[in-house]
Structure 1
Amino acid sequence: MVLLKIISWIILIYGIIALIIRKINLSRLKLPLAVASSIAGAILVVLLSLIVVVGPQEVAVVTTPSGVRPEPLHTGWHIIAPWNNIHYMDKTVWVYTCANAQGEGEKPNSDAIWAPTKDGIKLGFDVSVSWRIDANQAPWIYQNVTENDGGRSGRYIWLEENVIRAKLKSALALTVSGFTPIEAYSTKRNDIQQEILQRLKSECQQYRIIIDNVDVREVYYNEEYEKAINAKKLAEQEALRLIEVTKQKEEQLKQATIDKNIAIEKAKGESEALKIKGQSISSNPKIIELEWINKWNGQLPTYMMGNGQGIMVNLNNK
């Protein structure tokens, strides 16, 4: 479009210069198609001045002598009367972030949102909101939201600071108050995101804002509560260690009792066996000779005591 406008102006200027040269009778310099160029250039300039091009990431608002036209211009080429003005607005997605770390959010300082849980414990949240204007409602936004001296981005900055931020804080506080700290920190984070998203969608409709997504990026405990949690975790770990030690000692005691009972039963068995054996020997002395025969290895003894004489006889002498 810009190139066409440049070409049309070149043609028009060429035709005007050619007519001027012809008018002052400069016979030595003759430019052809003076009249045709002037007419064609003028027609092109007028036609192109009526054409408005709206880009794929924009929506345009038309202001007429009677006010703002309620219907916006969407992507494409449009013919607009030259006495109307065109105002372009961004319809792409913007992201507003509140973050605890400095420099990560829209504010240069630490800007996490702190809200109390069901237990009254305050938690900090890093939150990002993806939003955009309702392109069909661009004329309403143009009329009702100030640019605040910020150029084309002024309305969006105003909406983020005065609508997105305020509504986000309110929605997050109302949502988090229904959850415990543990739920907000881990198990129910997705549920919290969805509830905040639904609240924001409802609250921002009146400003013709569309909320696409809410992302709870991080959750923080305050310093005192974090210390209490760490102390509790250490106590729980120590309790688990003591339980494990107790279990080990109980197992050792059980095993010792079992070993003791085995030893007692074994001793009782051996005692009973000796008792039975003694009774058998008393009633039948020949049992000793039988035991001796069972244990004899077939060799005669080297020495033998004489019967009551105190004399040792060497049986190996020949």
Structure 2
Amino acid sequence: MEKLPKIGIPIIIAAILLIIVLAKSAVTIGSGEAGVLYKTFGGGVVIDEPPLGEGFHLVAPWNDVIVYEVRQQELFEQMKVLSSNGLEIQIDASAWYLPVYNDLGKLHQNLGEGYLDRVIKPAIRSAARSVVGRYTPEQLYSSKRDAIQDEIFAETKKILEKQYVQLNEVLVRDVTLPPTIKQAIERKLKQEQESLEYEFRLVTAAKEAEKVRIEAQGKADANRILSASLTDKILQDKGIDATLKLSESPNTKVVVVGSGDSGLPLILGNN
């Protein structure tokens, strides 16, 4: 085997070192991620520049890049909290969150990669305890679920705004009461529903009775007015009109004028 020229050995060493440097310097940021640059000899975490975006980057081999997911993420929490009367309630809730992109350096510097456990979980638990403590189990079970969801979101969001985290939504998926309390509430709600149905039937019956009374009163008033307006002369005229119409019938044979009672015409039929 021929010996390598003396000049070839340094070239090979330089090439190997270059490959190592390039390998240490090359950073690829994936989809939905961003990188925080840490300068070993330049002041540590870079907070006055935007984070490194998706794609390929070259950095000095003595620096470091910490990659964070910047997509929306979900936290699922089961929390045991106390209602206003001291009963233990279990709340199942989800929180949708993501780090504030342009504050990613500050997030890393102040909270680090464990920011979920350091601030988000404590924030949502604190908000849930505060909000649920304002309501009774009955309110939580029936009418106030949407309200507590909105209030937990508002209180958690207020805490996280100072922690470089953006909260998009809080969803209360389930409220679990002690079995005995749940059964008592369901019985009470059933009784209330039955009472409302009974009241509705009474109101409907009363309205129907009032309608019949008004109709009957209207008919009575109409008959009274009609009776008061009828005189003997009017009745006689109407009788004559009716007699004339009957006389036009082919079944009528003889009309004797003035032969009936009260002076009305008398109609004699075929028989």
TM-score (ref. length: structure 1): 0.51
Aligned residue in 2 for 1:132: 98
Match of 1:163 among 117, 122, 135: 122
Aligned residue in 2 for 1:282: none
C-alpha separation between the residues in 1 aligned to 2:215 and 2:90? Answer: 53
Aligned residue in 1 for 2:30: 55
C-alpha separation between the residues in 1 aligned to 2:46 and 2:196? Answer: 65
Aligned residue in 1 for 2:187: 227
Go from structure 1 to structure 2 and tell me whether the alpha carbon gap of 1:146 and 1:247 turns closer, same or farther (over 3 Å shift). same
C-alpha separation between the residues in 2 aligned to 1:50 and 1:262? Answer: 104
Written as runs of structure 1 = structure 2, the 5 A alignment for 1:18-33 is: 22-23=2-3
Aligned residue in 1 for 2:40: 64
SS of 2:96's partner is strand
Contact 2:119 2:160 in 1 (8 A): no
C-alpha separation between the residues in 1 aligned to 2:175 and 2:158? Answer: 24
Q: Who wins on radius of gyration, i.e. which is larger?
A: 1
Aligned residue in 1 for 2:167: 211
Aligned residue in 1 for 2:200: 240
Q: What is the aligned-residue RMSD (CA, Å)? A: 5.1
After superposition, what is the alpha-carbon deviation per residue over 1:12-33, rounded to whole angstroms, capped at 9, x for unaligned?
Answer: xxxxxxxxx54389xxxxxxx9
Aligned residue in 1 for 2:52: 74
Contact 1:116 1:123 in 2 (8 A): no
Report the CA distance between 1:255 and its aligned residue: 4.1
| Structure 2 unaligned residues grouped into runs of 5+ | 237-256
Contact 2:45 2:109 in 1 (8 A): no
| Structure 1 unaligned residues grouped into runs of 5+ | 1-20, 26-32, 99-106, 148-154, 278-287, 302-318
C-alpha separation between the residues in 2 aligned to 1:298 and 1:47? Answer: 129
Matched residues, number = 234
Letter of the 1:225 counterpart? I
C-alpha separation between the residues in 2 aligned to 1:158 and 1:298? Answer: 109
C-alpha separation between the residues in 1 aligned to 2:71 and 2:3? Answer: 54
Letter of the 1:90 counterpart? E
Q: Does 1:249 align with 2:220?
A: no
Report the CA distance between 1:244 and its aligned residue: 1.0
Letter of the 2:144 counterpart? A
Contact 1:116 1:122 in 2 (8 A): no
C-alpha separation between the residues in 2 aligned to 1:170 and 1:63? Answer: 41
- By relative contact order (CA 8 Å, sep 6+), the higher-ranking structure is 2
Go from structure 1 to structure 2 and tell me whether the alpha carbon gap of 1:202 and 1:238 turns closer, same or farther (over 3 Å shift). same
Go from structure 1 to structure 2 and tell me whether the alpha carbon gap of 1:143 and 1:41 turns closer, same or farther (over 3 Å shift). same
**Which structure shows the higher strand fraction?**
2
Contact 1:59 1:135 in 2 (8 A): no
SS of 1:47's partner is helix
Contact 2:35 2:52 in 1 (8 A): yes
SS of 2:52's partner is coil
Go from structure 1 to structure 2 and tell me whether the alpha carbon gap of 1:289 and 1:213 turns closer, same or farther (over 3 Å shift). closer
After superposition, what is the alpha-carbon deviation per residue over 1:34-79, rounded to whole angstroms, capped at 9, x for unaligned?
Answer: 9866654543442342233333413235263798424384225444
Written as runs of structure 1 = structure 2, the 5 A alignment for 1:9-48 is: 22-23=2-3, 39-40=14-15, 42-48=17-23
